[in-house]
Amino acid sequence: MTNHWNDIQFSDCILIMGSNPAENHPISFKYVTMAQEKGAKVIHADPRFTRTSAKSDMYVPLRSGSDIAILGGMIKYILDNKLYFKEYMLNYTNASFLVSKDFEFNDGLFSGFDPETSTYDKSTWQFQTDENGVPQKDPSLKDPQCVFQIMKKHFARYTPDKICRIAGMEKSDLLDMYKLYTATGRPDKSGTIMYAMGWTQHSVGVQNIRTMAMIQLLLGNIGVAGGGVNALRGEANVQGSTDHCLLYHILPGYLKTPKAAQQSLAEYNKAYTPVSNDPESANWWSNYPKYSASLLKAMWMNDDPKDSYNWLPKLENGNASQYSWLPMIDRMYQGKFSGAFTWGMNPACSGSDSKKVREGLGKLDWMVNCNLFLNETGNFWEGPGMDPKKVKTETFFLPCASPIEKEGSISNSGRWMQWRYAGPEPLNGVLSDGHYFSELMEEVKRLYKEEGGAFPAPVERVTFDAMYGEHHEFDAKQTARLINGWFTRDCEVKGKKFKKGQQVPSFAYLQDDGSTCSGNWLYCNSVTDEGNKAMRRDASMTPEQEKAQLYPNWSWCWPVNRRVLYNRASVDVNGKPWAPEKPIIAWDASSKKWVGDVPDGGWAPGTRHPFIMRKHGFGQLFGPGRADGPLPEYYEPLECPVESHPFSGQLHNPTAIHFKSEKKSVCDPRYPFIASTYRLTEHWQTGSMTRWEPWLVETEPQMFVEISHELARLRGFENGEKVCIESPRGKLWAIAMVTERFKPFTVQGQTLHQVGMPWHYGWIAPKNGGDSANLVTPNVGDPNTGIPEYKAFMVNVRKWTKEDEA
């Protein structure tokens, strides 16, 4: 989230699209309701009528996967009716930038497409620059090459009639929604978006969110109270686990995983340190070398970062199509891994096409599964269709301490790093995950020391003991200190003297020469000489902070306790808030200081462009970095019920990740229904935790599928009857829940049915609870992130028969 949970109460219009917070983030709805009570309007756009819809002022049904059509149409509506916040758009976004004359867009494809590799050469997507490399601008916005004009032309095709025909929605709904939301383009109004996996889990997931981010930039809704782009994250610490980068493409603090071509730390830093010659661009990533050196130092404390860089594993390329989840599972399925860790995770139920995942686990020589309860991954060898006597995988199950039996911090969706204390002792002395890692690391080190082996240096030299407390064991408090980082020798930075061992006060003091260590620069400032700020429980605020409900002394949030990101965009060039009634920051001219939130850099107003993490300092309406285009474009899901759509001749995202050998259902009469998976209030993710909790199982005991009355009539289903859901990947049973919550969609003159399923179940528990909905989901995904398309695919639903029991 750019903003945080308490901030939602300040919104004037809350668009909830791609999420169901009333059921999946119930406590967040407290703030939606508070906003509503103050007069805000709430719009819920979703294929299914949920409890969120019931509480909203407006419910807009749409066919799963049609989001970019609808949002692209909203951009056209904003541009046609001049509803943008002009001063914000002109000063804070790249609307006026001139794009290269070689940039083209034809019939669903941007310039630079290579059909052989299904990737883009992005060289024509660049800006025209002056002799200093600063982008050329046309503040009149009239130049046909300026972003504003290119956008206008691009979205001219997104007319309400076309959108409604493909999304299966009413034109009046569409226009009412546009009118309501775009009213937040007024300087003193703000609109927010609450989205979750309903947007990300598509082959156009990233562009779904980019389209909305563009709308927010056009309406001046980023950086302000009650605004922003807010991802409602699902796992308690998925924010933190992403910040610490348990992902192939990034290292802690969103640094890049090195590639083979970057053979030295200098080459690596050069590749990822942007250079701007615009004195008004803060270009914060120019500090990259300080963060990379400090990370290396935190991992290998006794070595020069220039040497330890050599020990970081290098990727061949950064492609999600080679290293992300889907290709990783495919690689496992092909027997190319000998071992695997499945730690605090249940991929046998959470991975798309679960049958492939389960079979893939059987191709490993060994697998270590660590969890609170037995789960379908650790016990895969005795699951449905498996003969244990034919499964080679040597399997370990490690029980771990529960979240209340250990201490440590987690980061919520609003980036608050909050400390958890140990209550009960670990059950029968089980270890915490941190202890498991440290004990395994020490044991592997011992083996290398005694026996030697392949390239032992990174293993032998890694300073895991920097995470240990006085008893020479993993210690969360000490690790939190290391993540913040300390000075490794006496030194002077920015006129301040520091002693060796002193905590680094904030990332502004990190160095590129090994004199500082920091496990994650974004968390630098969390544990300083003042103490561990994640532990803070002080609700006091200044009047300005209270007005914005910032709680700056409660826990700590990254970066540097800034509660609302991009907050310099919430004020004009003189530092005056656009919305004086709900300021986030304001410039106090008398003291020459900012009041309110921690500003995005303390420079005086008007002296720096506000989007400091961008090289040029501007919000990117035109975003040349994405794999599938600098502007969003409508494409059908890779499995879809139509042969064409009205926006171009390009049916699918041409760069989407998929496996050519795996069948996809496009207008396949055997799989006529659109399907989507989702979550319930009473269960969580694969259910590996909640399916063992009797109170929760009693409320939601087994797998079901929501089916409209119309589809039930068509197929002769009774409410409560057992039905079979099948796709080219597999099948599973579910209890038919015949409901008003789904209605058929009329798409291009055709009646289409959508069904929906929770994915919380699995064969191990509870008894007769059913199995994972992911047995039918496809292995296709977004080209930028690789996230699978769980939210729009094709299935058949039929009666469950005796033959199916076999």
Partner 1 sequence: MKIKRRSFLQLGTVATMSMAFFGLGCGKDEVAKVRDKASSFKLAWTKQTTTICPFCAVGCGLVVNTNQETKRAINVEGDPDHPINKGSLCAKGAASIQLTENPDRPSECLWRAPYSDKFEVKPWQWCKERIARLIKDSRDKSFEEKNAKGQVVNRTEGIASMGSAALDNEECWAMQTFMRSLGLVYVEHQARI
**Site residues for partner 1, window 694-753 (CB under 8 A)?**
694-696, 699
The secondary structure element, H or E, covering residue 341 is strand 339-343
Scanning 112-120, 164-172, 421-429, 796-804 for contacts with partner 1 by CB under 8 A, the matching segment is 421-429
Q: Residue 20 is which amino acid? A: N
Among 46, 173, 243, 303, binds partner 1 (CB under 8 A): 243
Give me the phi and psi of 303, to 5 degrees please: -125, 155
Min dist CB 637 to partner 1, Å, is: 16
Scanning 76-84, 142-150, 728-736, 786-794 for contacts with partner 1 by CB under 8 A, the matching segment is 786-794
Q: Which is nearer to partner 1, 94 or 779 (CB)?
A: 779
Scanning 212-220, 413-421, 610-618, 701-709 for contacts with partner 1 by CB under 8 A, the matching segment is 413-421
Residue 403 binding partner 1, by CB under 8 A: yes
Q: How many residues does the chain have?
A: 806
Question: How many secondary structure helices (H) and strands (E) does the chain include?
Answer: 25, 31
Nearest to 327 by CA among 794, 792, 790, 788: 788
Give the angle 636-640-641 at the CA atoms, nearest 5°.
120
Distance, first Cα to last Cα, the chain: 47
Cβ–Cβ under 8 Å, residues 208 and 202? yes
Q: How many residues bind partner 1 (CB under 8 A)?
A: 163
Q: Which is nearer to partner 1, 216 or 418 (CB)?
A: 418
Residue 98 binding partner 1, by CB under 8 A: no
Angstrom CA distances, 789 to 3, 47, 57, 155, 352, stand at 27, 15, 29, 25, 8
Residue at token pair 């059908």? 636
Min dist CB 488 to partner 1, Å, is: 17
Q: Which is nearer to partner 1, 337 or 603 (CB)?
A: 337
Give me the phi and psi of 640, to 5 degrees please: -150, 165
What string of H, E and C letters represents the secondary structure of 138-182? CCCCCCCCEHHHHHHHHHCCCCHHHHHHHHCCCHHHHHHHHHHHH
For residue 649, the 8-state DSSP code is S
Among 33, 506, 685, 748, binds partner 1 (CB under 8 A): 685
Question: Binding pattern to partner 1, positions 249-288, x when CB under 8 A?
Answer: --xx----x--xx-x-------------------------
Q: Which is nearer to partner 1, 233 or 568 (CB)?
A: 233
Min dist CB 682 to partner 1, Å, is: 5
Among 3, 93, 211, 409, binds partner 1 (CB under 8 A): 409
Residue 389 binding partner 1, by CB under 8 A: yes
Using CA atoms, how far apart are residues 405 and 420, in angstroms rounded to an integer? 9
Cβ–Cβ under 8 Å, residues 283 and 271? no
Residue 668 binding partner 1, by CB under 8 A: no
Min dist CB 15 to partner 1, Å, is: 19
Min dist CB 718 to partner 1, Å, is: 28
Which residues are CB-contacts of 540 (< 8 A; sequence separation ≥ 6)? 553
Using CA atoms, how far apart are residues 506 and 516, in angstroms rounded to an integer? 11
Question: Binding pattern to partner 1, positions 205-234, x when CB under 8 A?
Answer: ---------------------------xxx
Residue at token pair 């003159």? 749
Among 480, 524, 755, 757, binds partner 1 (CB under 8 A): 480
Q: Which of residues 6-35 bind partner 1 (CB under 8 A)?
A: 6, 24-28, 30
Min dist CB 536 to partner 1, Å, is: 11
Min dist CB 240 to partner 1, Å, is: 4
Q: Which of residues 750-769 bind partner 1 (CB under 8 A)?
A: 765
Scanning 76-84, 371-379, 490-498, 706-714 for contacts with partner 1 by CB under 8 A, the matching segment is 371-379
Min dist CB 380 to partner 1, Å, is: 10
Min dist CB 546 to partner 1, Å, is: 11
Q: Which is nearer to partner 1, 502 or 553 (CB)?
A: 553
Scanning 33-41, 57-65, 84-92, 681-689 for contacts with partner 1 by CB under 8 A, the matching segment is 681-689
Q: Which is nearer to partner 1, 338 or 768 (CB)?
A: 338
Q: Which is nearer to partner 1, 537 or 592 (CB)?
A: 537
* Cα 641 from chain centre: 27
Using CA atoms, how far apart are residues 644 and 649, in angstroms rounded to an integer? 7
Q: Which of residues 544-573 bind partner 1 (CB under 8 A)?
A: 549, 551, 554
Give the angle 565-41-675 at the CA atoms, nearest 5°.
85
Q: Which is nearer to partner 1, 242 or 702 (CB)?
A: 242
Min dist CB 266 to partner 1, Å, is: 14
Q: Which is nearer to partner 1, 215 or 251 (CB)?
A: 251
Residue 37 binding partner 1, by CB under 8 A: no
Min dist CB 350 to partner 1, Å, is: 6
Cβ–Cβ under 8 Å, residues 615 and 621? no
Q: Which of residues 282-321 bind partner 1 (CB under 8 A)?
A: 299, 310-316
Q: Which of residues 49-78 bind partner 1 (CB under 8 A)?
A: none
Residue 343 binding partner 1, by CB under 8 A: yes
Residue 656 binding partner 1, by CB under 8 A: no
Among 318, 458, 606, 744, binds partner 1 (CB under 8 A): 458
Cβ–Cβ under 8 Å, residues 524 and 243? no
Min dist CB 395 to partner 1, Å, is: 4
Which residues are CB-contacts of 208 (< 8 A; sequence separation ≥ 6)? 18, 67, 68, 71, 195, 199, 200, 202, 632
Whether residue 559 is preceded by a cis peptide bond, meaning omega within 30 degrees of 0, is yes
Q: Which of residues 139-158 bind partner 1 (CB under 8 A)?
A: none
Give me the phi and psi of 633, to 5 degrees please: -140, 145
Which residues are CB-contacts of 451 (< 8 A; sequence separation ≥ 6)? none
Give me the phi and psi of 91, to 5 degrees please: -85, -30
Q: Residue 18 is which amino acid? A: G
Among 34, 79, 368, 595, binds partner 1 (CB under 8 A): 368
Scanning 164-172, 281-289, 475-483, 655-663 for contacts with partner 1 by CB under 8 A, the matching segment is 475-483
Q: Which of residues 427-456 bind partner 1 (CB under 8 A)?
A: 427-434, 437-441, 443-444, 446-448, 451, 453-455
Q: Which two tokens stand for residue 437?
A: 């890692």
Name the E strands within 400-515: 408-411, 416-420, 491-493, 496-498
Min dist CB 464 to partner 1, Å, is: 7
Q: Which is nearer to partner 1, 6 or 91 (CB)?
A: 6
What single string gives the DSSP state of each residue in 74-104? HHHHHHHTT-S-HHHHHHHBGGGBBBPTT--
Using CA atoms, how far apart are residues 282 and 254, in angstroms rounded to an integer? 18
3-state helix, strand, coil in the chain (%, to 5): 30, 20, 50
**Number of Cα atoms under 13 Å in the Cβ half of residue 667:** 8
- SS3 for 200? helix
Question: Binding pattern to partner 1, positions 576-615, x when CB under 8 A?
Answer: ----------------------------------------
Using CA atoms, how far apart are residues 169 and 96, in angstroms rounded to an integer? 34
Min dist CB 468 to partner 1, Å, is: 10
Cβ–Cβ under 8 Å, residues 762 and 769? yes
Q: Which is nearer to partner 1, 455 or 499 (CB)?
A: 455
Using CA atoms, how far apart are residues 669 and 690, in angstroms rounded to an integer? 37
Q: Residue 109 is which amino acid? A: L
Residue 105 binding partner 1, by CB under 8 A: no
